[in-house]
Amino acid sequence: MPSKIKKRGENSYLLSVVHQQKEYTKTIKAYSRLEAEQHWKLFAADVLQGHALAAGTERMTVTEFYCYWNYHHADKNLQKKTIAYKNALFARIDASL
């Protein structure tokens, strides 16, 4: 797996996955090569399910990013009250931009 996992620092690794002629990358902190390989397997599964953005994709607007973040992170990990607060906050930010 030398091309899939590259050591970047003392505890940092760069993971890369190629899927449908697009390269997906992610930097992680891991304490061993084995732990990095486990992270790579999870990252590869996310890429295959469509839960990762490709490296070098076109830029997103703030609104597009917020919608992406809401769908992939907030809906699954946050409580309803927190999501409502974040939506109200984002509406104010979006209006000022």
Q: Are residues 45 and 73 both part of a single domain?
A: no
Say how many C-beta atoms besides its own lie within 10 A of residue 74's C-beta. 15
In this structure, are residues 24 and 52 in contact, taking their beta carbons and an 8 Å threshold? yes
In a domain, 40, yes or no: yes
What mean pLDDT do residues 19-43 have? 91
Q: Which two tokens stand for residue 9?
A: 């620092």
The count of residues in the chain is 97
Q: Do the domain assignments include residue 55?
A: no
Check whether residue 43 and residue 15 sit in a common domain: yes
- Please write the tens of the pLDDT for every residue from 41-86: 999 998 888 877 776 666 778 888 898 888 888 888 999 999 999 9
* Domain total in the chain: 2
Q: Are 37 and 12 members of one domain?
A: yes
Find the mean pLDDT for residues 19-45: 91
| Residue 72 pLDDT | 85
Task: State residue 2's pLDDT score.
Answer: 39
pLDDT at 1 over 60: no
44 within 8 A of 17, measured Cβ to Cβ: yes
